[in-house]
């Protein structure tokens, strides 16, 4: 059995798995947005049926979303197993092969978590399920990236250059995005609707009062029929979500600016960082529209999906940065490196900008 790094069909299959995972996340988002997570009370069966034989005539209301989610999840699980086996057989890099195995464990765990959320009635499991979904998407996208021909030839086009501090910056930005997604998942899985109904202000103020009397008054005026009453914690959480959005916007803007300035506009990091910034702008707008639309299911889901794309983009940027940028000391350039100073200085880096 021959192993080779040049497996174009394996790479295409990895991208297909990544795309299917993104679809799965979208459907999962619709399940939560439609409040349909508990519309099928049993698991792994569906209203007593084997889920693959559940009659289409019974896919009504929220069942439609939840059942589709389960079917797509099964499909992604199947694709992931094939991907892992394919990697195991064809991929020469042992580390990549093992990441394929990790992906299988992750997708199985994710399925079990989804099932336990249903039968144990725990919102906390739903939050963990949502967080792991994002990590799984990043993992599959990373597998697709590092099995690609582009990745293999990356250092030919862009030889490793000393890191002007970008790797840490991109990593921090990505971690901030992930933290933001976990906060978002926590907000969504408390099923409390909009804790703050207006934007950019909050209850007509820059910082809303959160004392017991004020919260009671907010609840009296809410017109979200089934939503649980909001608490001061939930209002605070949404304010943190908003502040975090500003922080991420700042961090990603700085990353894009720094990449372009230090590496030049043609460097893949610079281009991708610009795309990342575009996604963050879209995400901020979608966040605002989520509030202005009173958390319409499609808008709220789009907000979640673009959040996932933002995380993936940040993660891919970070991974690429670790390939095309090397620490200054490791490059042996620390002592005599006037042309590759830190980000705070203004001299442009020459490498990789051609």
Partner 1 sequence: MKLTSRFLIIPALLAGLQAASAADITGTVTLNGTPPPEQVNTHISNDPICGKLHSEPVKTQFFVVGPKGELKDVVVTLKGAPAKSGGESAAPALVDQTKCEYVPYVMAVQTGQKILVKNSDPVMHNVHPTPKVAGNKEENKAQMAGGADLTFSFANPEKFLKFQCNVHDWMFAYVTVVDSPYFAVTDKDGNFKIANVPAGKYTVEVAHRKAGATTKEVEVKDGGAKVDFTLDAPKPQ
- Which chain residues interact with partner 1 by CB under 8 A? 34-42, 47-48, 58, 60-63, 66, 118, 121, 203-204, 216-218, 220-221, 223, 225-226, 228
To partner 1, the closest distance from the beta carbon of 241 in angstroms equals 21
To partner 1, the closest distance from the beta carbon of 123 in angstroms equals 10
Between β-strands 161-162 and 325-326, what pairing exists: parallel, antiparallel or unpaired? parallel
Place of tokens 């990593």: 171
Q: Of all helices (H) and strands (E), which one includes residue 278?
A: helix 268-292
To partner 1, the closest distance from the beta carbon of 237 in angstroms equals 18
- Residue closer to partner 1 by CB (options 39, 283) is 39
- Residue closer to partner 1 by CB (options 49, 88) is 49
User: For residue 251, how far is the Cα from the chain centroid?
Assistant: 17
To partner 1, the closest distance from the beta carbon of 205 in angstroms equals 11
| Beta bridge mates, 239 | none
What is the full DSSP assignment across 15-35? Answer: HHHHHHHHHHHHHHHHHHHTT
Distance from C-alpha of 83 to C-alpha of 159, rounded to nearest angstrom: 30
- Residue closer to partner 1 by CB (options 79, 187) is 187
Handedness of CA 247, 248, 252, 258 (dihedral sign): positive
To partner 1, the closest distance from the beta carbon of 74 in angstroms equals 21
DSSP 8-state symbol, 325: E
- Exposure string over 260-279, b if 16+ CB within 10 A, otherwise e: bbbbbeebbbbbbbbebbeb
Distance from C-alpha of 116 to C-alpha of 174, rounded to nearest angstrom: 29
- Residue closer to partner 1 by CB (options 193, 268) is 193
User: Is residue 235 within 8 Å of residue 208, measured between CB atoms?
Assistant: yes
To partner 1, the closest distance from the beta carbon of 55 in angstroms equals 11
Place of tokens 């969504």: 188
Provide the 3-class DSSP secondary structure of residue 37: coil
- Residue closer to partner 1 by CB (options 70, 340) is 70
- Residue closer to partner 1 by CB (options 90, 189) is 189
- Residue closer to partner 1 by CB (options 204, 354) is 204
CB contact set of 141 (below 8 Å; sequence gap of 6+)? 18, 312, 315, 316
Distance from C-alpha of 76 to C-alpha of 21, rounded to nearest angstrom: 6
To partner 1, the closest distance from the beta carbon of 174 in angstroms equals 34
């Amino acid at each position: 059995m021959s192993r080779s790094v040049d497996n174009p069909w394996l790479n295409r299959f990895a991208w297909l798995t990544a795309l299917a995972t993104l679809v799965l996340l979208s459907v999962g988002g619709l399940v939560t947005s439609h409040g349909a997570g508990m519309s099928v009370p049993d698991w792994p069966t569906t209203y007593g049926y084997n889920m693959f034989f559940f009659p289409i005539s019974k896919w009504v209301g929220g069942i439609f979303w939840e059942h589709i989610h389960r079917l797509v999840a099964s499909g992604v699980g199947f694709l992931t197993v094939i991907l892992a086996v394919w990697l195991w057989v064809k991929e020469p890099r042992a580390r990549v092969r093992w990441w394929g195995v990790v992906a299988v464990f992750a997708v199985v765990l994710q399925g079990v978590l989804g099932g336990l959320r249903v039968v144990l009635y725990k919102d906390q499991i739903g939050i963990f399920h949502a967080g792991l979904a994002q990590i799984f998407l990043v993992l599959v996208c990373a597998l697709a990236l590092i099995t690609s021909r582009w990745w293999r030839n990356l250092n030919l086009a862009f030889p490793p250059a000393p890191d002007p501090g970008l790797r840490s910056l991109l990593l921090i930005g990505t971690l901030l995005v992930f933290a933001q997604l976990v906060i978002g998942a926590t907000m969504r899985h408390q099923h409390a609707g909009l804790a703050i109904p207006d934007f950019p202000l909050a209850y007509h103020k820059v910082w809303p009062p959160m004392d017991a009397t004020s919260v009671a008054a907010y609840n009296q005026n809410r017109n979200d029929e089934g939503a649980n009453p909001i608490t001061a914690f939930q209002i605070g959480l949404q304010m943190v979500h908003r502040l975090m959005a500003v922080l991420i916007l700042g961090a990603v803007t700085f990353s894009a600016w720094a990449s372009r300035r230090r590496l030049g506009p043609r460097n893949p990091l610079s281009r991708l960082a610009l795309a990342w910034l575009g996604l963050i702008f879209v995400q901020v707008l979608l966040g605002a529209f989520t509030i202005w639309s009173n958390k319409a299911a499609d808008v709220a889901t789009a907000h979640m999906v673009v959040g996932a794309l933002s995380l993936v983009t940040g993660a891919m940027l970070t991974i690429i940065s670790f390939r095309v940028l090397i620490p200054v000391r490791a490059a042996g350039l620390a002592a005599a490196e006037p042309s590759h100073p830190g980000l705070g200085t203004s001299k442009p880096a020459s490498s990789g900008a051609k």
